[in-house]
A and B are shown apart, each in its own frame.
Chain A
């Protein structure tokens, strides 16, 4: 198996497509499985080549490269039970050991919930417009990032460091194969830039903020936009004040609202429903979950989704799926097994495992077909409104199975025509109440790394501050 580790010494650029050979891999697995008496198997394989740079005040901080490969094999034993094993060893010996491990693990497969091949693993895929970009030399990435850092540092005297920064590019490939002949393969190139600045004025607390950009290649990154956004946000937090604890109308930035929706995506997750850890039940479809002007779709195929996959871990095509339509819970996200349990088709949201996980791809939030909600909202002319730019610590402050959240945030209080950064505060609530307390949307929907969303107004949220 060629993993493409040979790189030029002088121009160690090369995030070249690593080159998995699906046909060879399939034939190899077929032979090895036959030797072990395994008739039914599938596999997911991925490999990638990454290069990234970080800088610190004009100097290279760390330059990184990585060649990664991984494979997960899944086998069905004579009793129809499933076992898996994952490995980074794609040699023939590694594959043989992985198959043997999966076979052994299958003895402990769950007879009550056995995955099968997706009935859609051979269905046509939607074409994706994902141009493969040539990688840049790492020293070129370094020069670009140094210039970006210098530009950002020059935007304001208080911006003294950009402690978190990175410019990275990746070439990757993934494969899904099964013993019934399904064969999926996708190649992708991506690049990312993040700049997170720290600013401090004499006698005041340090403040920080940042921005991220994604593209199909480093040459396509909106570097100027990333610098502008990081500078603007960081400077905007320099003049800060504590906020009084109380209940406020909040305006969520697209990124913040998408973070909140993502944290509670078990609402739409059939796996979580079957496991009893979702806020929804099997019978919840058709329930009014939100204000009638809210619609949320999952659309991994949206052109704004850099890094979109055309198929999920089981080979099922990814497609657009309505989750909340006009305020009503309309569909769950499914794997093959959950879809079978619900009597519907898989939706393209599966991982690959003995117990298959289900997860969202990329959200679209908006008003859908139903007009409504307050019109002409403009946070800049509002009074007593909290503008939440970003939420933190979702891993700790979200109780997904309970619906509650209490999260630190960065944002501003808009009062009396003045927009002032909030020193340190948390926002708390219940996602079910949030979805019912939407006031309306402001402005055009914005493409973010996690989805498409406008600014979202929500009334009556609890804010804890230090004033």
Chain B
């Protein structure tokens, strides 16, 4: 390892109590103008991205910045303005613009409508030194090159090897006219390896990405040998795989990133943003069965080190463990401030946003199906002809609840046993139809880091599940 200090670009000017008066002025001005609630979100970021290809570092991309998002509510309506200008003049100009959107005008300051900010809840206090404890560029680049070298050692027919690392440090401060005043520091690191195997006309590309939050040491703990071995084994298996035959099959979805099925098929439909839009079929279903009794699903922001964990959400609320579905019955929706206002579902600490450029929205954190009583082998053995999805790619859900996701590594199931590898599968369906078909859950729950893009931008999340069996799903193929 090469010892080097971390490249940290924004350690100056932290958000601290010196911001209080400036923020209170903005909030008081907004309230005096007639806003029912005003919220200011301050953000400072420091990012490093590294790319290794073959045995060279080919890109080092640091970035840093500051900005603010000001959101003004007038009853259920809201106006949102973001700016990079954090001066008092800049913040007030943004406030004026947000007020104007709602037909309000900044007048003489009437502080009687604002009682001032409460005491600062500072979740970042104990995290001040995190950035200093992260690997420096020298150490991180060495680690990444170790990974791409191990791909070469484990792989065959590899045409391209890539490793990437991202470290995202974010300091936030949230102040709202209901008195909310909180600060936090977040640290997310992710490292990924990818390999493209090619032999004549046959090609297979496989990759894995690992991510954590709030663990400065995480890159040092990463096991590149295990990662490289898993990717190369997968690429080797898929290199000469036949295309899957299209049709409807029972499928077994592996644990970890297999949890993307619940994330896409159901999780998004349990966000109050979907209730607001009228795009979830579950809006009136709280207390009713919407899934097979084998399914209990949870979203939380509390698991130590998980990619979607938070000390507070982007509206200053501590996250909670939210049981979404219990034994098939819908229990809760994920809600943010606007969701609570507009749908009546109580906030769950799920108000999240990519950056100050986005207003917070109800979003998932660490979302998973709980473990069941079966072994993974039980699930495979219960199927005569079907598909085993060992590794999942990304997916999406549309405005009518139709979801889809890609299978990166799949195997036929024949007579209760795993058969030959198959490629090119896409699973499609509708949440209302597929949730009752998740009939068996295994006992091997594991989580996996991912990125979720939606109304408030791209955020860090965890998906997860044990091995699950879906009795029937449409498999797109050839």
CB contacts (< 8 Å) of B428 on chain A: these are 408, 424-426, 464
Question: What does DSSP make chain B's interface, helix, strand, loop or mixed?
Answer: strand
A201 interfacial contact with B, CB 8 Å: no
Q: Number of contacting residues on A, CB 8 A?
A: 83
CB distance from B275 to the nearest CB of A (A): 11
A110–B55 CA distance with the chains assembled, in angstroms: 11
CB contacts (< 8 Å) of B412 on chain A: these are none
A263 interfacial contact with B, CB 8 Å: no
A57–B456 CA distance with the chains assembled, in angstroms: 21
User: Which range contains the number of B residues in contact with the other chain?
Assistant: 35 or more
A101 engages B9 (CB within 8 Å) = yes
B97 interfacial contact with A, CB 8 Å: yes
Q: 1/0 per position for B192-212, CB-CB distance to A under 8 A? A: 000010000001110000000
Interface residues of A in 1-31 (CB under 8 A from B): 3, 5-12
CB distance from B63 to the nearest CB of A (A): 4
A276 engages B160 (CB within 8 Å) = yes
Among B7, B59, B100, B402, contact of A138 (Cβ-Cβ < 8 Å) = B100
CB contacts (< 8 Å) of B423 on chain A: these are 404
A277 engages B96 (CB within 8 Å) = no
A85–B63 CA distance with the chains assembled, in angstroms: 5
Residue of B103, B137, B138, B478 ringed by the most chain A CB atoms within 10 A:
B478
B84 engages A67 (CB within 8 Å) = yes
CB contacts (< 8 Å) of A206 on chain B: these are 281, 399-401
B477 engages A462 (CB within 8 Å) = yes
A353 interfacial contact with B, CB 8 Å: yes
CB contacts (< 8 Å) of A63 on chain B: these are 77-80, 98, 101-102
Q: 1/0 per position for A195-210, CB-CB distance to B under 8 A? A: 0101000000111100
A36–B271 CA distance with the chains assembled, in angstroms: 50
B9 engages A85 (CB within 8 Å) = yes
Q: What residue in chain B is nearest A163 (Cβ atoms)?
A: B277
B159 engages A62 (CB within 8 Å) = no
A97 engages B64 (CB within 8 Å) = yes
Among A60, A353, A396, contact of B59 (Cβ-Cβ < 8 Å) = A353
CB contacts (< 8 Å) of B60 on chain A: these are 83-84, 105, 108-109, 354
A399–B207 CA distance with the chains assembled, in angstroms: 12
B127 interfacial contact with A, CB 8 Å: no
A287 interfacial contact with B, CB 8 Å: no
CB contacts (< 8 Å) of A277 on chain B: these are 159-160, 196
Q: 1/0 per position for B87-107, CB-CB distance to A under 8 A? A: 001100110111111110110
Stretch of A86-94, A217-225, A250-258 contacting B (4+ beta carbons < 8 Å) = A86-94
B65 engages A7 (CB within 8 Å) = no
Contact A9:B276 (CB < 8 A) given known A426-B426, A462-B477 = no
A65–B424 CA distance with the chains assembled, in angstroms: 42
A464 engages B475 (CB within 8 Å) = yes
B57 interfacial contact with A, CB 8 Å: yes
A161 interfacial contact with B, CB 8 Å: yes
Interface residues of A in 314-366 (CB under 8 A from B): 353-355
CB contacts (< 8 Å) of A89 on chain B: these are 64-66, 84
B83 interfacial contact with A, CB 8 Å: yes
Contact A87:B65 (CB < 8 A) given known A277-B160, A392-B404 = yes
CB contacts (< 8 Å) of A6 on chain B: these are 93
B78 engages A62 (CB within 8 Å) = yes
B279 engages A163 (CB within 8 Å) = yes
CB contacts (< 8 Å) of B81 on chain A: these are 64-67
A83–B401 CA distance with the chains assembled, in angstroms: 45
Interface residues of B in 21-68 (CB under 8 A from A): 51, 53, 56-67
A104 interfacial contact with B, CB 8 Å: yes
A65–B357 CA distance with the chains assembled, in angstroms: 9
A52–B247 CA distance with the chains assembled, in angstroms: 43
CB distance from A359 to the nearest CB of B (A): 15
B394 interfacial contact with A, CB 8 Å: yes
B277 engages A392 (CB within 8 Å) = no
CB contacts (< 8 Å) of A107 on chain B: these are 137
CB distance from A425 to the nearest CB of B (A): 8
Contact A426:B63 (CB < 8 A) given known A12-B96, A85-B9, A406-B426 = no
CB contacts (< 8 Å) of B405 on chain A: these are 393, 396
Q: 1/0 per position for B132-171, CB-CB distance to A under 8 A? A: 0000011001000000000000000001100000000000
A428 interfacial contact with B, CB 8 Å: yes
B85 interfacial contact with A, CB 8 Å: yes
Contact A163:B278 (CB < 8 A) given known A208-B399, A426-B476 = yes
CB contacts (< 8 Å) of A139 on chain B: these are 100-101, 103
B476 engages A408 (CB within 8 Å) = yes
B362 interfacial contact with A, CB 8 Å: no
Among A3, A245, A276, contact of B196 (Cβ-Cβ < 8 Å) = A276
B396 interfacial contact with A, CB 8 Å: yes
A12 engages B101 (CB within 8 Å) = yes
A403–B10 CA distance with the chains assembled, in angstroms: 42
A80–B130 CA distance with the chains assembled, in angstroms: 33
Residue of B137, B359, B402 ringed by the most chain A CB atoms within 10 A:
B402
Among A66, A110, A208, contact of B357 (Cβ-Cβ < 8 Å) = A66
CB distance from B477 to the nearest CB of A (A): 6
CB distance from B131 to the nearest CB of A (A): 14
Beyond the given A7-B93, A60-B101, please list 7 additional residue pairs across the A-B interface where CB-CB is below 8 A: A9-B96, A64-B81, A67-B81, A68-B357, A139-B100, A397-B404, A402-B203
- Identify 24 residue pairs between A and B in the complex whose beta-carbon atoms are under 8 Å apart, listed by A's number: A12-B100, A60-B77, A61-B276, A65-B81, A85-B9, A86-B61, A86-B62, A89-B66, A98-B9, A101-B9, A102-B62, A139-B100, A198-B400, A205-B400, A276-B160, A277-B160, A277-B196, A397-B406, A402-B203, A402-B204, A407-B426, A426-B246, A428-B424, A428-B476
4 nearest interchain CB pairs? Answer: A426-B476, A88-B65, A12-B100, A464-B246
